[in-house]
């Protein structure tokens, strides 16, 4: 599967990328929603987007809304460690706006891979 990872934390992107690459997925990376949406436009083969919700430049909720509008078949996993109000509030909102799956940070490689199985 072709997967886009959007997260402003390089360590999180690396962890997700390594986990998915080991499972033979093709991975694209972006450090914020703006560059993530550019990657979606440049790589129509992307089938799944994993996006953090709290990021500079363009945050994840806005990214999910734009991606859902432009790419209705795209599968979306929203991830969040929270912020001032805690991750649950953001993840509920992401779910309401079209995320297929939500994951609270920190999550394990096994939890990530299990979440992808629910989308097949």
Domains and CATH numbers, the chain: 2-117 (3.40.50.2300)
Closest to 63 (Cα-Cα) out of 48, 52, 47, 73: 52
What are 18-70's pLDDT values in tens digits?
Answer: 999 999 999 999 999 999 999 999 999 999 999 999 998 899 999 999 999 99
Distance CA 31, CA 5 (A): 8
What are 16-28's pLDDT values in tens digits?
Answer: 999 999 999 999 9
Interval 87-111 mean pLDDT: 91
**Quick one: pLDDT at residue 81?**
86
Cis amide prior to 106 (ω within 30 degrees): yes
The reply to whether the predicted model has a pTM over 0.85 is yes
**Quick one: pLDDT at residue 118?**
76
Q: Report yes or no: 98 and 70 within 8 Å, Cβ to Cβ.
A: no
């Amino acid at each position: 599967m072709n997967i886009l990872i959007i997260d402003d934390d390089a360590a999180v992107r690396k962890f997700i990328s390594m986990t998915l690459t080991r499972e033979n997925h093709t991975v694209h990376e972006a450090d914020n929603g703006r560059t993530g949406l550019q990657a979606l436009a440049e790589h129509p083969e992307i089938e799944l987007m994993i996006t953090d919700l709290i990021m500079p430049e363009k945050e994840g909720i806005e990214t999910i809304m734009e991606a859902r509008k432009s790419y209705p078949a795209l599968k979306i996993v929203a991830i969040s460690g929270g912020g001032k109000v805690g991750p649950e509030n953001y993840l509920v909102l992401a779910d309401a706006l079209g995320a297929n799956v939500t994951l609270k940070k920190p999550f394990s490689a096994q939890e990530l891979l299990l979440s992808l199985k629910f989308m097949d």
